[in-house]
Amino acid sequence: MSDALPPRKSGPLQKREARLAWGLLFPTISSVALVVILPLMAIFWISIKPITLADLRTAAPTVYEKLRGDFATGGDEGTLEYRLKNSSRRQEVTEVKLADTIPTGLHILKLDERCELSDQKLTCEFGDWQAGYSEKLRIPVQVNQQFIDDEINVRSSKAQISGHGVSALLNGEFTLTNFTKIFDGGEFWNVMGVTLFYTIFGTIGALFVGLLAALILNKEFKGQGVLRGLFLFPYVAPVIAVAFTWVTLFDPFSGSANALLLQMDIVDTPINFFGEKPLALIMVTIFEIWRYFPMAFLFILARMQSINADMYEAAEMDGASPFQQFWALSMPQLLGILSVLFLLRFIWTFNKFDDIFLLTGGNAGTRTLTVSVYEQAFAISNIGAGAAVAVIIFAVLLLFSLFFFKFISREEGL
Amino acid sequence: MTRFRYGYITAPIIGFLWAFTIAILVAVIMSFISGDLFKPSLTFSLVNGVFVGLTLLYLKANKRLILMGLTLLIFLISYFGFGAVFIGEQVSIQNRMVTSLLIALAIILPINIMLTDLNFGALTRHDFEHAIIKFLTWFGYLFFTFIVVIPFYVMLMTSLKSQQALLANPLDFSIEFSKGWALFRSYIELFRDFNFGQYLSMSLMISVLTVFITLLFSVPGAYAIARLRFKGRAAMSRSILLIYMVPMIVLALPIYIAFSTVGLRNSVVGILLIYPVTTVPVALYMLQGYFRGLPAEIEEAGLMDGLSRLAVIWKITLPLSLPALASVSLYVFMISWNEFLLAFMLLDDPSKFTLTRGVAMLNSSEIPRQHLMAGAVVATIPIMIIFLGLERFMTKGLTAGSVKG
């Protein structure tokens, strides 16, 4: 009897299934590629370019046309002036050309050597302009009576200027200064330290508090549903609302928290919770714990409710005390979800931007890596440097993710 | 630990700790309501707590009469200034009575429950730990409720105050009902002068559209990953998670640059291009977890009866996964409603603001605090109403993807 082996090659049915699968996944894959993969690659590109916010506009020539002189009667002379400029201070524009229609009645006396005139059409070729180039092109003109009577405006025919500018994003200029600047001085390691403090304590705190909340709600009683809903409030409310509320509550001058502490004689002078050096970081971390314990709570509670209750009855019969039951029965069952949550929250806290940005703006020793990206790119408007920090974030995350998948594939069987 | 395992030691300790907890809580609550002086007193908490603990332990007071008597006693002690909370002299008689009653009830009843299983002498480890756990549980209920409610309470009450009242006493959150509709001045001004009505509808529209687009993309994708066999399936399901871990700020920078050059900044279309992509991976992950849990046999029966795959998804899988779809929609709605970073970076034109962007605009030194808080309330209330109405779905949906029973 021959062994019945499964077919090795994929048959037509399997091929069809695979095609269908890729077809179903296509919209997701393409959109994600467009908005995630492409920007990620862009970040790497930008990080090695010397580029600031102002360079985002492509270099282009500009022109401003004006007729100078007093014209009282026909035959008066004046100047037709074109103010020419390269809009960029850092990029050159090539093959600049100007074209304009000269109104009839305006007689050109002397033409610049770069320009030509035919049928009232003026065309000039300026060649290449370096960065920051500017010039006033003056053409002496004479007007006739008709021109004055009709009140003709030279700008009624718009001067057209064209030229090729290369966007600072696409030119061949590369640099490593973005990275060397980051690592210069102690600033970077300071930021890294703050990030790690925030991430580690924020994660552990949220998990621990979430575990406690889950423990007290893991029983049936009246009002359990109400409390469970209530505990999720910090997580569900918009970050902007709760962050500003915390700022208002802990304001050193008009905050209720300080007023309370002063009235109870606990402190003599108001505390600047979000403005003093070590305290601000601690407060920001507490905010993080407050805002994200509900998430840990939700997952841990769901896991707890799926643990078989018989086990606890048996343990109770054997005389195990509540704490013994917790350590010996609940904890081992919760370890899986706790470690998954730890990794997830660790990465998300590491990535967190809005919370600190809204609470302190990264001041008073709370600048994390993500806030630093924003600071560099928009406050100092050095986009290249911001991108370099982003690249570092990405590298650190990649390390985490490798670890994460090694770990989670065991835990979750993904 | 064994040294504490006597009723006459455990009970007073629990009594004291509980009395002090209640003292802090009541003092803060009364301060926040009236703005007057209330202060927890460590010494009197100790005296009151130890006394209550020992009395209840000794009398085994499940009889109503004793409990009522004790409550009255603590009430009187507190009223005349020897209670766990020190009450300032300018406090009105009414508030003084409310405070004392609150303290008496909040101390006596829970301590009575905590000590039911204890006897006066040596305790078993079991009973001892049970008492401790009861204490910690009650403490937890109060603690968590307190830390969650206080910020929202401050948010709401600040929005109802006037600038002068806030500066005069930042603690006084009492509502001046005499002002009538003027109480809502900040809200009226927000909607009249700051265009909040428009921001509200803008946020609503963007969030609803984001939900639809997300579902449109993620349902087929999730089904493919959950059910169909193809090469690279495991890699796909992993890379979805991986995308979930890319920080938004890293993406926001190049998106900002691209949108600036293409001219999509300050446009609803630009926002609608970005928002769904940030939510699709989450939705896909949650949905595929749910699809996997559905019995494959029903779908196979459908296939056998001659339905195509797409018809199976439409006629069998989707109707079966309505609860999951509801929870995913809710979660996606929440994400896009609360989204701040992208709105902040991509929108500068006040006519295109979403609600969160509008609230961020209020955070300036020229605009009074109560307007900012009113804005925060306006941004919070819709999502809270939706959440409270559909909390069950939310809870299930959030945990569906990753928790296996």
Instruction: State phi, psi for A137 to the nearest 5 degrees.
Output: -90, 115
**C-beta atoms of A20 and B250 within 8 A:** no
Q: Hey, is the C-beta of A4 within 8 angstroms of any chain B C-beta?
A: no
Mutate to test the interface with B, among A13, A20, A28 (most CBs of B within 10 A): A28
B399 and A344 Cβ atoms separated by less than 8 Å: no
Q: What are phi and psi of A360, to 5 degrees?
A: -125, -10
Q: Is residue B173 part of a domain?
A: no
What are A193-205's pLDDT values in tens digits? 999 999 999 999 9
The DSSP bridge partners found for residue A115 are A124
Nearest CA of chain A to the CA of B210: how many Å? 14
Cβ atoms within 10 Å, residue B80: 11
Interface confidence, given as ipTM, is 0.91
* pLDDT by 10-residue block (mean), chain B, 405 residues: 79 92 93 88 90 84 79 89 86 89 90 83 84 92 95 92 82 79 86 91 95 93 88 82 82 87 87 90 86 86 88 88 88 92 90 92 88 94 88 65 40
B135 and B195 belong to one structural domain: no
- The residue type at B94: Q
Which among B138, B168, B198 is the end of a domain?
B168
Nearest to A233 among B148, B258, B377 (CB): B148
DSSP output for B15-59: HHHHHHHHHHHHHHHHHHHH-S-EEE-HHHHHHHHHHHHHHHHHH
Let me know whether B231 and B196 are in one domain: yes
Rounded CA-CA distance B339/B359 in Å is 12
Same domain, yes or no, for B235 and B121?
no
Task: Measure in Å the smallest separation between the Cα of B173 and chain A Cα atoms.
Answer: 10
A282 touches B: beta carbon within 8 Å: no
Contacts of A336 in chain B (CB under 8 A): none
Cα B208 to Cα B190: distance, rounded to the nearest angstrom: 23
Distance from CA of A317 to the nearest CA of B (A): 12
Residue B108 is part of which domain span? 2-168
Give me the pLDDT at residue B403, please: 38
Out of B228, B338, B388, whose CB is closest to A239? B338
Q: Please tell me whether residues B207 and B103 are part of one structural domain.
A: no
Q: Could you tell me if residue B405 is inside a domain? A: no
Given a cut of 70, is residue A312 above it in pLDDT?
yes
Q: Chain A to chain B, count of Cβ pairs less than 8 Å apart?
A: 286
- Chain B residue at shortest CA distance from A371: B249
Lowest mean pLDDT among A75-84, A296-305, B39-48: A75-84
Q: Specify the pLDDT at position B397.
A: 61
> In angstroms, rounded to a whole number, what is the distance separating the alpha carbons of residues A354 and B82?
47
Task: Say if A31 is an interface residue toward chain B (CB within 8 Å).
Answer: yes
Using the predicted structure, report yes or no on whether residue A1 has a pLDDT greater than 70.
no
Please say whether the beta carbons of B240 and B281 come within 8 A: yes
The answer, yes or no, to whether residue A91 has pLDDT greater than 80, is: no
Residues B88 and B209 in one domain: no
Last residue of some domain: B168, B195, B228? B168
Question: Which residue segments constitute the domains of chain A, with CATH numbers given?
Answer: 59-165 (2.60.40.1170), 177-412 (1.10.3720.10)
- pLDDT above 70: percentage of residues in chain A: 94
What residue in A sits closest to B382 (Cα-Cα)?
A: A237
User: What does the pLDDT read at residue A409?
Assistant: 57
Rg (chain B; Cα; Å) = 29
User: Six-digit token pair at B224?
Assistant: 């493919």
Token couple for B285: 């992950």
Residue of A25, A58, A231, A356 to mutate for B, most B C-beta atoms under 10 A: A25
- Look at chain B and report how many structural domains it folds into: 2
B181 in a domain, yes or no?
Answer: no
The minimum CA-CA distance between A350 and chain B, rounded to whole Å, is 8
Asked if A92 and A128 count as a contact pair (C-beta separation under 8 A), the reply is yes
The partner residue sitting opposite A244, judged by closest CB among B27, B234, B376, is B376
CA distance B327 to B322: 9
Question: At A279, is the pLDDT very low, low, confident or very high (cuts 50, 70, 90)?
Answer: very high
Domain annotation covers residue B174? no
- Please check whether residues B126 and B207 belong to one and the same domain: no
Answer yes or no: do B156 and B233 share one domain: no
Shortest alpha-carbon distance between residue A278 and chain B (Å): 22
> What's the CA gap between A348 and A393, in Å, rounded?
12
Chain A hits for B338, Cβ within 8 Å: 237-240
B269 and B396 assigned to the same domain = yes
Q: Concatenated DSSP letters for B141-177?
A: HHHHHHHHHHHHHHHHHHHHS-HHHHHH-TT-----G
Out of B137, B168, B199, a domain closes at B168
- The distance of A32 to chain B (nearest Cα, Å) reads 6
Compute and round to an integer the Cα radius of gyration of chain A: 35
**Distance of alpha carbon A405 from alpha carbon A410, whole angstroms:** 8
Which of B144, B171, B273 lies nearest to residue A256, judging by beta carbons? B171
Residues near A91 by Cβ (< 8 Å), separated by ≥ 6? A55, A58, A59, A131, A165, A166, A167, A168, A171
Q: Do B223 and A24 touch (CB under 8 A)?
A: yes
A395 touches chain B (CB under 8 A): no
Q: Which of A31, A225, A383 sits opposite B217 (nearest CB)?
A: A31
- B198 shares its domain with B157: no
Here the tokens at position B339 are 């989204």
Chain A: residue whose CA lies nearest to B336? A238
> Considering only CA atoms, which of A238, A274, A291 is closest in space to residue A362?
A274
**What are the start-end ranges of the H helices in B228-267?**
233-244, 248-262
Q: How many CB atoms lie within 10 A of CB A102?
A: 18
Query: Which residues in A302-384 belong to E strands, given as ranges?
Result: none
- At residue A274, does pLDDT exceed 90? yes
Would you say residue A401 has pLDDT above 90? no
Instruction: Give pLDDT tens digits for A330-369.
Output: 898 898 888 888 888 998 999 999 999 999 998 888 999 9
Count of residues in chain B: 405
Q: Is residue B178 part of a domain?
A: no
Nearest CA in chain B to A39: B254
* In a domain? residue B239: yes
Q: Does the distance separating the beta carbons of B403 and A302 come in below 8 Å?
A: yes
> To which H or E segment does residue A12 belong?
helix A12-32
Residues of B in contact with A351 (CB under 8 A): 245-249
One domain for residues B39 and B123 = yes
Write the DSSP assignment of A343-374 as a string of letters.
HHHHHHHHH--HHHHHHTTT-TT---HHHHHH
pLDDT at A290: 97
Touching B: A residues 214-243, CB under 8 Å = 215-216, 225, 227-234, 236-242
What is the pLDDT, as a whole number, of residue A307?
A: 84
Distance, in Å, from the CA atom of B270 to the CA atom of B255, rounded to the nearest integer, reads 10
Is there a contact between B395 and A228 if contact means CB atoms under 8 Å apart? yes
B195 and B301 belong to one structural domain: yes
- What gap in Å lies between CA B143 and CA A227, rounded to an integer? 12
Q: Do A353 and B356 touch (CB under 8 A)?
A: no
Res. A152: pLDDT tops 80: no
Q: Residue A221: its chain B contacts at CB < 8 A?
A: none
B131 and B195 both lie in a single domain: no
Q: Which residues contact B90 (CB under 8 A, 6 or more apart)?
A: B36, B37
Q: Are B225 and B280 in contact (CB under 8 A)?
A: no
pLDDT greater than 50 at residue A253: yes
From residue B284, alpha-carbon distances to A28, A271, B225, B243 in Å are: 9, 46, 9, 11
DSSP A369-386: HHHHHHIIIIIS--HHHH
CA separation, residue B94 to residues B34, B86, B360 (Å): 11, 15, 41
Residue at B120 is within a domain: yes
The domain that holds B290 is classified in CATH as 1.10.3720.10
Q: How many CB atoms lie within 10 A of CB A118?
A: 7
Is residue B374 a part of any domain in this protein? yes
Chain A's closest residue to B248, CA to CA, is A351
Which of A229, A290, A337 is opposite residue B147, by nearest beta carbon? A290
Bridge partners of A107? A142
Four-point Cα dihedral B251, B255, B257, B263, nearest 10: -170
